[in-house]
Amino acid sequence: SVAKVRCTSARSENQGGKLIVVEGGDLIEEKDFACPQGTTIEVAQLFYVTPARSKFLKGDSTEFSHITQVVTQQALAYPSIQFQLTHNGREVIQALPTDQIHYRIAELFGTDLAKSLVQVKSSSGDYRLEGYVSNPVYTRSNRSAQYCFVNGRFVRDKVILHGTQQGYNHLLPKGQHPALFLYLTMNPKLLDVNVHPSKAEVRFAFQQDVHQFISRSIREALERNLQTQIEGAQPDYDDIGINTSNETSINRPKLSSWLSKPEVISSSQEEKLSEALRKMSVSHEFRSFTTSPTWFDKPPIPVSNLIYSEFEPLGQLDSSFIIMQGKKGLLVIDQHVAHERILYERFRDAAKEKKIEV
């Protein structure tokens, strides 16, 4: 009702299509029209009948970014439909139809992000969650790559986002956010979509259940991915000739055989061994050490002096330790001890303010 709109649509090229023209809310034209399969909507002269509203529009780049965001949301919600967005003759989005959401993500956001994604697939009762999240190494400083859909509708819900954050279990650097492409399917009776004018927010009947389900699903997906990487990791033996198969030509005695049957060396063998060691020591100029060897060029940096935001998480070890890397080296964090420290500081600060809850 505030612009000039021209729409052409056809189910198939054989059946033909329709043309509808609406200007300022009035139907100007409706007729049969020959057009290719699909729907094309053209919007022109926005707010031409209400000039006062056009004053509230932002700059061209800002408004176009909003348009791009809407098209991206719809392209992720319906990967089986082709989406094309052009701006001033330049193609901005070209998403071909596919039955794999992973391919659609790669088309819209690039292959680098797509390669870092971890598949999420979980169900419990009335809830089913599918999609992809980025591994803890790939993060962004904003939430621009976070897309959540509930029953096919794009939403920005605090319960889902917080549950996702909890699923990473402190694996993310401070101020960093993962990429999310999650699709939650649930009973519509357990959902209220009429809480926001643009339907961008929803309200769950059982928010705690949804929060726990999403958090557990994300955590299990990340753990499975880490386990797969550990099991699939193979050492690189390209530089040395070694047999990496289970069967090896080297027979290594067991520890019990060394303890129960010590090898007896004859006097002649002992003399030959001594002579060989003497010649080796002379040729290589071996020297005996009177002091213990130095294992570090400089003493390790105290943990209290480290800035944790400068480290990036690599993964989780044995569900107990967080492995992180940074310019200052490798950092291993005991999750249990870290959690105790957080609780201690929380109680300490509350005691200073005399706000301890009993």
Between 303 and 261, whose confidence is greater? 303
pTM value > 0.75: no
What is the average pLDDT value for the chain, to the nearest integer?
78
Q: How far is CA 210 from CA 169, 205, 250, 276, in A?
A: 17, 9, 56, 72
192 pLDDT tier (thresholds 50, 70, 90): confident
Instruction: Tell me the three state secondary structure of residue 123.
Output: strand
Angstrom distance (rounded) from CA 65 to CA 68: 5
For the chain, give every domain's residue range. Answer: 4-89, 116-230, 308-352
Between 317 and 355, whose confidence is greater? 317
Locate 141 and state its tokens: 């400083």
Task: Give the tens place of pLDDT for each residue, 67-115.
Answer: 999 999 999 999 999 898 888 888 899 999 998 999 999 999 988 889 8
- The pLDDT, as a whole number, for residue 44 is 87
For residue 104, give every residue at least 6 positions away whose Cβ sits within 8 Å of its Cβ, in sequence order, or none: 75, 76, 79, 95, 98
User: Looking at the predicted structure, is the pLDDT value of residue 161 above 60?
Assistant: yes
User: Looking at the predicted structure, is the pLDDT value of residue 239 above 90?
Assistant: no
- The pLDDT, as a whole number, for residue 70 is 92
Task: Give the tens place of pLDDT for each residue, 56-67.
Answer: 888 888 888 899
User: Averaged over 202-218, what is the pLDDT?
Assistant: 91
Nearest CA to 71 out of 60, 59, 82, 57 is that of 82
User: Looking at the predicted structure, is the pLDDT value of residue 19 above 70?
Assistant: yes
- What is the phi/psi pair of residue 100, to 5°? -115, 115
User: Averaged over 150-159, what is the pLDDT?
Assistant: 90
Angstrom distance (rounded) from CA 198 to CA 25: 20
CATH architecture group of domain 4-89: 2-Layer Sandwich (3.30)
User: Averaged over 142-170, what is the pLDDT?
Assistant: 89
Q: How many CB atoms lie within 10 A of CB 261?
A: 9
147 pLDDT tier (thresholds 50, 70, 90): very high
- The pLDDT, as a whole number, for residue 128 is 93
User: Averaged over 162-185, what is the pLDDT?
Assistant: 88
286 pLDDT tier (thresholds 50, 70, 90): very low
Between 195 and 185, whose confidence is greater? 185
Between 45 and 299, whose confidence is greater? 45
Fold of 116-230: Ribosomal Protein S5; domain 2 (3.30.230)
> How long, in residues, is the chain?
358
- The pLDDT, as a whole number, for residue 157 is 86
